[in-house]
Amino acid sequence: MTPPILQRRRQVLKGALASALPLAVPSLALADSKSEPLVVGGLPVTCNLTLPIACVAKALANARTGAAPAFEYSKYSGWPEIKESLMTGRIQAAYMLAPLVMDLSDKRIPLKIVSLGHRSGAVIMVRTDSANKSFKDLRGKRVAIPSRFAVDFLFLRKMLAREGMTPKDIQIIEMPPPDMPAALYAKAVDAYCTGEPFGAAAQRAGYARALSMTRDQWRNYICCVLTVREELIQTNRPLVQALVNHVQAAGNWLDAAPANRARAVAIASGRKYFNQDPNVLKFVMENPADRVTYGDLRMIRAEFDELMQLSIEAGTLKRPVAYSSYVDESFVKNIAPVAIAV
């Protein structure tokens, strides 16, 4: 039964403009294949931006050297779809929500986090013409979140707690992030908390402003993590290592120069990847430049422990989950530098 504080999206949109991205149909990823590309699932969000860069860099390197296999990006519309594909083995790697991986590990689904994908990148947006200046002003208001497993929700809880509030003081609505800007514009919600570029889309359009950003309030914030099935680790460690090498290198490359971010926008906005307005992605990259960061992708146990504790307090995890059961640090510890030539 859905908790009272969570209302179904269709009850609040009521005709508001909504354009959820279509679910991609990924090809089957074979763990024992030496030539087929490794399909890696991801959402069209800037927290996943290292993935398209890693895919393009590996493909271009393969073209120059004749090496194989490559990485193939598969776009999904939401976390439930990625979760289902990973659980069933339809894909063997994806960017996932860290607390969701903890929960699946607790349910004995054979998954391991092998790398971070980003830092920061979540925002809480309100209308520019609203009187909401602080979180106290949101008391009794409708606030959209992507999922109860989303770290965005934990960010919202942290901000409420600083004002002596809890989620019971607001009306929480679960809603796909692509729907959120339209819902705010139509006044179907009073605020929303999500990852980029769905905050920037409304801000750039002029009808929304950021009430709070993780860059200001939670600098070591992480949500999207590179996750692989354990059988892929067991059957093809070199392929997993190559993927981690490229993701980590993509993160360093993205933060190394503004020109690199501009190139990343050109790549990610294309139909093969995010299929989004490049001007919105560019806005995320520049306003401010550290709205999302990628250069520090270290996996720090204390940060995962904090996420786990916050998730337990939020009720999305029932009990503590052993770090070693859902994280494999060996690939990050054995990173080999690769060139990102895109």
Q: What does the pLDDT average to over 325-332?
A: 98
For residue 145, is pLDDT > 50?
A: yes
Q: What does the pLDDT average to over 22-48?
A: 68
Q: What does the pLDDT average to over 70-78?
A: 94
Contacts of 178 (CB under 8 A, 6+ apart): 18, 19, 20, 21, 77, 198
Instruction: Give the rounded percent of residues in the chain with a pLDDT score beyond 90.
Output: 86
Q: What is the pLDDT of residue 47?
A: 96
Q: What is the pLDDT of residue 68?
A: 86
For residue 232, is pLDDT > 80?
A: yes
For residue 171, is pLDDT > 90?
A: yes
- 285 neighbors 261 (Cβ within 8 angstroms): yes
Q: What is the pLDDT of residue 34?
A: 62
Q: What does the pLDDT average to over 251-262?
A: 98
* Confidence bin at 11 (pLDDT 50/70/90): very low
- Order of strands across the sheet with 122-127? 6-7, 171-174, 142-145, 191-195, 122-127, 208-213
Pairwise CA distance, residues 242 & 85, whole Å: 22
Average pLDDT, the chain: 90
Nearest to 98 by CA among 301, 334, 282: 301
Alpha helices in 163-236 (DSSP H): 180-185, 198-205, 214-217, 230-235
Contacts of 229 (CB under 8 A, 6+ apart): 31, 86, 89, 92, 93, 110, 111, 112
pLDDT tens, residue by residue, 207-226 = 999 999 999 999 889 999 99
Query: Does a cis peptide bond (omega within 30 degrees of 0) precede residue 44?
Result: no
Q: Which domains does the chain have, with CATH numbers?
A: 6-20+121-217 (3.40.190.10), 38-119+223-333 (3.40.190.10)
Compare 271 and 12 and report the one with higher pLDDT.
Answer: 271
For residue 290, is pLDDT > 70?
A: yes
